[in-house]
Amino acid sequence: MPDPGPSYDPPRHVEHILDLYRQHPHTTGRVRKTDRLLAVDLFRQGIAIDSVKVALLLVAARRTQSPERQHPHIRSLHYFLPAIREILDQPLDNDYIRYLKRFTHRHHHLP
What is the rounded average pLDDT of the residues 2-25?
A: 79
Question: What pLDDT sits at residue 105?
Answer: 76
Q: Residue 39: its pLDDT value, please?
A: 97
Is the sign of the CA dihedral 28, 36, 82, 19 positive or negative?
positive
Question: Which pLDDT tens digit goes with each residue over 17-65?
Answer: 999 999 998 999 999 999 999 999 999 999 999 999 999 999 999 988 8
DSSP letter string over 9-57?
A: -HHHHHHHHHHHHHH-TTB-S---HHHHHHHHHHHHTT--HHHHHHHHH
DSSP bridge pairs for 74: 27
